[in-house]
Structure 1
Amino acid sequence: MSIDTVRDALPAYAKDLSLNLSSLSAETLLTDQQKWGAFVASAHAVGQPVVVKGLEAAARAAGLSEEALTAAKAAAAIMGMNNVYYRSLHLMKNKEYGTLPAKLRMNVLANPGVEKVDFELWSTAVSAINGCGMCLDAHEAELKKHGVPNTSVQAALRIASVVNAVSRVIAGEAAAA
């Protein structure tokens, strides 16, 4: 499996997505680890098997280490939890919930196994897919503290948006078959 396998799974009506997937795989605003980690984290956030397998294979072929691959998956996992929790706090009218301790384990945030900036970019991508504005703001602020330019944050968001759309189209086509 590869990125071409994912592109080949897309129907003709999703040609823009196929082209975007191809151009983003050649993205140069991010390091290769940042870029491929964003692809993997985004794929795991959506969880469509063809996309997960294809993008993991592409990431490995591009040289993403097993440690970085694991950290990207960890970003999807922890954000899957945090995005629901913090989005709920943000949406609820009773703001008292925001003053209560979360009492959720989040140790991977302190020790993700890769550069903090990379993990923050991946967490930002997953938070975009999961629609948590509170988490998006928190991760973007952390990236700004490390001097990450807006164009790099945007690149991670572009990857997330395309992987999300690709995953949903492939899942929809599978459901219709």
Structure 2
Amino acid sequence: MSLTDLRNALPDYAKDLKLNLDSVLSEAGSPGLDGKQIRVIALACAIATRYLPLTAALEAFAAEQLSPEEIHGAKAAAAIMAMNNIYYRATHLIHNDEYGQMRTGLRMNVMARPGVDKLTFELASLAVSAINGCGACLDSHERTIRQHGASAQAVQSALRIAAVVHAVGVTAEQAAA
């Protein structure tokens, strides 16, 4: 199913999602981000929704501008955040500072060479962290993004992509059920 087909299959009550999806997947609708960043973020978010038709549609959309290595980078951001968001959210929610002082013991080698530039990887990681609900990771990635010179508008755009892609995945899966 193409992205257009998936979008058109959304129920009438999700008209706002249809409009928002078109918007956030464009440079005009995601200020502060370029086309490649939008595609990396959207694909990583689609993976985080766990709705396979949306992931396939956004991977095809991403492949229009991204190299296989950049697509790998989007997948890497989704994969590493699937692990990190659980770990860091849990250690943050436990309210015992001892866990924050301990070595994680989890391999995160992909962060050194993810397949996309550091800023784009951080933006995708932030967006996936929003979907997965990890405040500790959101704080960390937002700080790093801003240190790389990105604006608050770029951060907001990444979060808007996460919100819309997640909502489309939830709604499309429910409509298909």
TM-score (normalizing by structure 2): 0.95
Supply the distance in 1 between the matched residues of 2:141 and 2:6 (Cα, whole angstroms): 29
| Residue 45 (structure 2) aligns with | 42
Supply the distance in 2 between the matched residues of 1:60 and 1:7 (Cα, whole angstroms): 18
SS of corresponding position for 2:149: coil
User: Does the CA-based 8 Å contact 2:26-2:38 persist in structure 1?
Assistant: no
Residues 1-177 of structure 1 aligned to structure 2 (within 5 Å): 1-28=1-28, 29=31, 30-61=33-64, 63-175=65-177
Can you list the C-alpha shifts for 1:13-55, whole angstroms capped at 9, x where unaligned?
Answer: 1000010001112224211110000110000011101111111
Supply the distance in 2 between the matched residues of 1:153 and 1:6 (Cα, whole angstroms): 26
- Whichever residue aligns with residue 11 of structure 1, its letter is P
In the TM superposition, residue 128 of structure 1 has moved relative to its aligned partner by 0.4
- Counting aligned pairs with the same residue, the percent is 52
Supply the distance in 2 between the matched residues of 1:64 and 1:43 (Cα, whole angstroms): 16
- Whichever residue aligns with residue 37 of structure 2, its letter is Q
In the TM superposition, residue 174 of structure 1 has moved relative to its aligned partner by 2.4
SS of corresponding position for 1:160: helix
Can you list the C-alpha shifts for 1:80-129, whole angstroms capped at 9, x where unaligned?
Answer: 00000000011002221111110000011122121100000000000000
Structure 1 runs of 4+ aligned residues shifted over 3 Å read: none
- Whichever residue aligns with residue 25 of structure 1, its letter is L
In the TM superposition, residue 9 of structure 1 has moved relative to its aligned partner by 2.2
User: Does the CA-based 8 Å contact 1:32-1:64 persist in structure 2?
Assistant: no
User: Does the CA-based 8 Å contact 1:124-1:136 persist in structure 2?
Assistant: yes
* C-alpha RMSD of the superposition: 1.0
- Whichever residue aligns with residue 95 of structure 2, its letter is K
**Which ranges of structure 1 fall in alignment gaps of 5 or more residues?**
none
> How many aligned positions are there?
174
**Which ranges of structure 2 fall in alignment gaps of 5 or more residues?**
none
SS of corresponding position for 1:126: helix
